[in-house]
Amino acid sequence: MLNQIVLVGRLTRNIKINKSDKGKKIATISLAIPRSFKNIDGTYDTDFIDCIAFENIAENTATYCKKGDIVGVKGRVQSRVFEDDNGKREYLIDIVAEKITFLSSKKDEEKGEELDNN
């Protein structure tokens, strides 16, 4: 059996660290990932996917990455079940980041543009 996911995209916002009820550090990382094919209108759609990172992964990503940076996320899909206020069961799917690789920052891209222009 295999439960593995790999995503590469741009951070859509700066990362904030929160704490769980048990004191664990948690960050929600939102990625914008353009699709590799055009839609019927001839443009590329973008998927926005949230990932959850814990403890050191969350801290390091929040420290070294900011909105617009490109990151790679390797992780797993995890399901949760809970009951809402009416007793109805709700099912959620989470992407849990097990490794985040910092690929490129806006600052790096701006430096590259300056070098290309000279």
In angstroms, the CA 92 to CA 115 distance is 46
Q: Tell me the sheet residues that pair with 50.
A: 30
- Over the stretch 75-87, which tens digit does the pLDDT of each residue have? 999 999 988 888 8
Quote the mean pLDDT of the chain. 89
Domain boundaries, the chain: 5-117
Token output for 8? 């590469």
Q: What CATH architecture is 5-117?
A: Beta Barrel (2.40)
Which pLDDT does position 33 carry in this prediction?
96
C-alpha span between 107 and 31 (Å, rounded) = 18
On whether the pTM is more than 0.75, the answer is yes
